[in-house]
Amino acid sequence: MGSIWTTKQNKLFENALAIYDRETPERWANIARAVGGGKTVEEVKRHYEALVEDVKQIESGRVPFPYNNNNPSVGSSKAHVCMLKYQ
């Protein structure tokens, strides 16, 4: 069972992924620090793996892409989906 992630932590996580790419030494430790809230490196890695799996499901058409007209930030996740392809 995974840990609970707040909306703020998810946003910090997404931003940290953009800052700390695959080539960054101590990438996962840096991301865990950026997210805060006591998240461990292992929790951050599991969260990333779950996100990658979600992206695969969306791209395969098995899960509809989330979009909410009342919450533009939900739709902005599409940019993060594209970003993950290149991570």
* Fold (topology level) of 7-85: Arc Repressor Mutant, subunit A (1.10.10)
Average pLDDT, the chain: 82
What is the Cα–Cα distance from 9 to 31, expressed in whole angstroms?
11
* pTM for the predicted model, two decimal places: 0.70
Confidence check: pLDDT of 86 > 50: no
pLDDT tens track for 9-36:
999 999 999 999 999 999 999 999 999 9
Q: Quick one: how far is CA 46 from the chain centroid?
A: 10
| pLDDT recorded at residue 7 | 96
Domain ranges across the chain: 7-85
